Chains A and B, each alone.
Chain A
């Protein structure tokens, strides 16, 4: 079956504009994670969805960031009023079980805010 897919693969936007990043997890995976990787840095956890439970938003850096997961499958990460420091690769991962098993990562969306 297909792995995790993300779109777009690259996004260039002007400062102040809103952007939406999409993630299609592996079918049947109930856990979905968003991470951010800034240039030369490790990955930073942003948000977690598990089934129909309320998401864990503890990693979101500001209220300009939000995410939703419709129907327990596709997820969208929205960044409002983008800033230059939002430039990074945004990675989505899914897992069949939270924490106990490996996470499967998508190819990421490279966001550049000019």
Chain B
């Protein structure tokens, strides 16, 4: 079952603008990760934020985590056409046992128009 929801489901912006995607989850977590998926195939890991962290940066990516609200946001600054993809948040929870499998949100489809 999916851990949470992502908002918005779809986002269309102009190249150069910033894109913000939000993710909410339901249970306590060890960490939260963001992945990108192009053309419905393999996923690429973008960034991981641990439950005791509040903000993390990687290049043009900025992730925030609010464990009290069980939510996270991904900001992509100065977007490019190549950023067009689906973006998923995924959580690892203590309740998942030794597997520590990822539980994914429903994803946001980002389209960056040139």
Identify the A interface with B (CB < 8 A).
4, 33, 35, 37, 41-45, 48, 50, 53, 56, 58-59, 89, 91, 93, 98-108
Whether B42 pairs with A107 at a CB distance below 8 angstroms is: yes
Whether B100 pairs with A43 at a CB distance below 8 angstroms is: no
Q: B33-44, CB under 8 A of A: which get 1 and which 0?
A: 101000011111
- Residues in A with CB closer than 8 Å to B45 are 102-104
Q: Tell me how far the C-beta of A38 lies from the nearest C-beta in chain B, rounded to whole angstroms.
A: 11
Q: Given contacts A48-B101, A105-B35, list 12 more A-B pairs with CB under 8 A.
A: A37-B40, A41-B106, A42-B107, A43-B88, A43-B102, A44-B104, A45-B99, A98-B99, A100-B92, A105-B43, A107-B42, A108-B41
CA distance A41 to B23 in the complex (A): 15
Identify the B interface with A (CB < 8 A).
1-2, 30-31, 33, 35, 40-45, 48, 88, 90, 92, 96-107
Which of A45, A56, A91 interacts with B103 by CB under 8 Å? A45
Which of A43, A91, A98, A105 has the most chain B CB atoms closer than 10 A to its own CB? A43
Whether B33 pairs with A102 at a CB distance below 8 angstroms is: yes
Residue of B nearest to A33 (CB): B101
Q: Tell me how far the C-beta of A42 lies from the nearest C-beta in chain B, rounded to whole angstroms.
A: 4
- Residues in B with CB closer than 8 Å to A53 are 98
CA distance A59 to B102 in the complex (A): 12
Whether A99 pairs with B92 at a CB distance below 8 angstroms is: yes
